[in-house]
Amino acid sequence: MDKEKNVTTYNVTQLPKNNLDELFEFAGKLRNSPDHKDRFKSEYLDLTVRAERLRRMLVRYKDGTLEFKPNNTYEMLHAQYIFMIEYGNILYERAEIEHINLSADEVFKK
């Protein structure tokens, strides 16, 4: 697996909307679709939003601007983020194999 390629592909900033709450809400709408491809897109988008939120938190944690003190270490939260990225990479590869288009234009068609 080419991690560099996949990590750059797996990036919430490439999506047409940058409001994470809107993205998360949109994923929820796809989640209940009878179409398995929509549910797959929902899972990918949901993970993308959660990973981006965690990434932003890690940035603030590291630079000391986080507004609360987490119970977990930075290292543990960073490990979680890495696993989320790997999970996203697996979903992305599955989507290619299953011919599910995860491009922003396709995901936001609904």
- C-beta of residue 3 within 8 angstroms of C-beta of residue 93: no
Entry pTM: 0.76
At 52-99, the pLDDT tens digits run 889 999 999 999 999 999 999 999 999 999 999 999 999 999 999 999
Token reading at 25: 């809400």
State the maximum Cα–Cα separation within the chain, in Å, rounded to a whole number: 44
CA distance 86 to 80: 10
% of the chain at pLDDT higher than 70: 77
| Closest of 49, 60, 50, 55 to residue 77, by C-alpha | 55
| Closest of 49, 57, 40 to residue 94, by C-alpha | 40
